[in-house]
Amino acid sequence: MSNIVVIGGGVIGLCTAYYALQEGHNVTVLEKGEVGKGSSWANAGWITPSHVVPLAAPGVIRKGLKWMLDPESPFYIKPRIEIELFRWLWAFRSYATQTHVNRCIPILGTLCEESLNLFKALSQALGDQVGFEEKSLIFAAKTDAGLKYCIHEVEVVKKVGMAARVLDLNEMCEMEPTLRTDLKGGAFFKIDAHLNPAKLMVHLAKYIRANGGRIVENTTVNGFELGKKEVKNVQTTHQQFEADYVVLAMGAWSKEVNEALKLRLPIQPGKGYSITLPQTGTLTRMPILLSERSVAITPFGNEIRYAGTMELAGMDLSVNQRRVQAIKNAAQEYLINYDAEVAQQAIPWAGLRPCSPDGMPLVGPLQTFPNVLVATGHAMIGVTSATGTGKIISDLISGKTSFMDPLPFAPERF
């Protein structure tokens, strides 16, 4: 049994704590704010193994540059002189190739498919209180170009053995009657599921506390006592914590430990927004991606969430109302039950996705300090791959062979 200190109480940190507790370890989660209230709180809640294409893919840069000129587009880089951002963009550019995508797809597929299996068990262990539903996912397109993208995604997903098919307009609107009948059609990804991320955070934290884990909130990690090849303890704003193993699950804040641990974790925060509102009229039943607008729609019973945007704007949680309005406009363009008055009342939420330059997470031990394990960089699939990530980290600490070799996620690969 080891003393494990997990830094960061988001979905990655809490899932790690969950599996480590099951292995009988002593677990302490240190959280600088309130547990679960980072990026993991009001995201779209999708568990989508079908999202196997990494962010760094061909065409993304061209599309990104085009979108940069549009203040209502889903993508934006805040112009600034920041050496780390330049390095990140330069590396991203070199990874955005078809060869890289082909290499990543089966790796991400394995991580995310196993995570889905683990979510089924986790949801049961948490008393089915997190809103986990296996309702699949629809991509909806309103233009020929959008439909072409849907067809391409279906081909990619089918190649890795997951069920997916193109939908004609009739079938799509039968499946999800709140989609407008003047769209073009779309795609159906059977494997995908979703849950309520805030409920997941609340019930995971409750479970961890009830099963002997400690969660210490309002406590910022600000240093480490280093041995020759190990971290001996973790220093915080309040006290220090002895650790046999330390897990870095700090999400978008990960690079704050770079100096203290002589590291270079290349994580950039990718800001996104969501708004959650009561559903009026016919209820939307299924999660939907609005293809041309890159907006995620998730129904949570009588509520609905619209989420989107990727802004590389630094550690800044301020809300750009124009882009939030663009998310609302997108919902109006695709859904018959969009209610402008209700949407006007909704308070936008902002979250920072931890983005790596190659679009793959950073999961595994450090070479410099092998008792420090990194679990970050999950960008748009942090929920989708949280259980698998937590299991890998817990297995590594427990000396067990995990369901996959984490080598492709080696944190010092850059």
Ligand X SMILES: Cc1cc2nc3c(=O)[nH]c(=O)nc-3n(C[C@H](O)[C@H](O)[C@H](O)COP(=O)(O)OP(=O)(O)OC[C@H]3O[C@@H](n4cnc5c(N)ncnc54)[C@H](O)[C@@H]3O)c2cc1C
Least CB distance to ligand X at residue 387 (A): 11
Among the listed residues 3, 22, 26, 220, the single contact to ligand X using CB under 6 A: 220
In the complex with ligand X, the residue whose CB is nearer, 343 or 381, is: 381
Residue nearest to ligand X (CB): 382
In the complex with ligand X, the residue whose CB is nearer, 162 or 381, is: 381
Least CB distance to ligand X at residue 404 (A): 18
Give the Cβ contact number of residue 402 at 10 Å: 15
Instruction: Specify the residue for token string 């870095």.
Output: 248
Among the listed residues 4, 20, 44, 265, the single contact to ligand X using CB under 6 A: 44
Instruction: Report the site for ligand X in 127-186 (rule: CB under 6 A).
Output: none
Which two three-digit tokens encode residue 346?
């909704």
Tell me if 33 contacts ligand X by CB under 6 A: yes
Among the listed residues 52, 243, 380, 393, the single contact to ligand X using CB under 6 A: 380
Question: What's the 3-state SS for the chain?
Answer: CCEEEEECCCHHHHHHHHHHHHCCCEEEEECCCCCCCCCCCCCCCEECCCCCCCCCCCCHHHHHHHHHCCCCCCEEECCCCCHHHHHHHHHHHHHCCHHHHHHHHHHHHHHHHHHHHHHHHHHHHCCCCCCCECCCEEEEECCHHHHHHHHHHHHHHHHCCCCEEEEEHHHHHHHCCCECCCCCEEEEECCCEECCHHHHHHHHHHHHHHCCCEEECCCCEEEEEECCCCEEEEEECCCEEECCEEEECCHHHHHHHCCCCCCCCCCEEEEEEEEEEECCCCCCCCCEEECCCCEEEEEECCEEEEEEEEEECCCCCCCCHHHHHHHHHHHHHHECCCCHHHHHHCCCEEEEEEECCCCCCEEEECCCCCCEEEEECEHHHCCCCHHHHHHHHHHHHHCCCCCCCCHHHCCCCC
Among the listed residues 16, 28, 40, 233, the single contact to ligand X using CB under 6 A: 40
Least CB distance to ligand X at residue 384 (A): 4
Dihedral Cα 140, 144, 148, 154, nearest 10 deg: 30
Among the listed residues 130, 307, 363, 374, the single contact to ligand X using CB under 6 A: 307
Among the listed residues 6, 8, 153, 373, the single contact to ligand X using CB under 6 A: 8
**400 near 391, Cβ under 8 Å?**
no
Residues in the interface with ligand X (CB under 6 A) total: 42
Tell me if 74 contacts ligand X by CB under 6 A: no
Distance CA 395, CA 146 (A): 41
Among the listed residues 146, 272, 357, 390, the single contact to ligand X using CB under 6 A: 272
Least CB distance to ligand X at residue 231 (A): 14
Among the listed residues 115, 233, 274, 294, the single contact to ligand X using CB under 6 A: 274
Least CB distance to ligand X at residue 149 (A): 18
In the complex with ligand X, the residue whose CB is nearer, 252 or 304, is: 252
Among the listed residues 313, 381, 392, 396, the single contact to ligand X using CB under 6 A: 381
Tell me if 294 contacts ligand X by CB under 6 A: no
Least CB distance to ligand X at residue 217 (A): 9
In the complex with ligand X, the residue whose CB is nearer, 251 or 406, is: 251
Among the listed residues 16, 28, 43, 136, the single contact to ligand X using CB under 6 A: 43
Among the listed residues 9, 54, 146, 390, the single contact to ligand X using CB under 6 A: 9
Quick note: the x/- pattern for ligand X over 340-379, rule CB under 6 A, is -----------x-xx---------------------x-xx
Tell me if 299 contacts ligand X by CB under 6 A: no
For binding to ligand X (CB under 6 A), which residues are involved?
7-13, 30-33, 38-40, 43-46, 220-221, 249-253, 256, 272-274, 296, 307, 351, 353-354, 376, 378-384
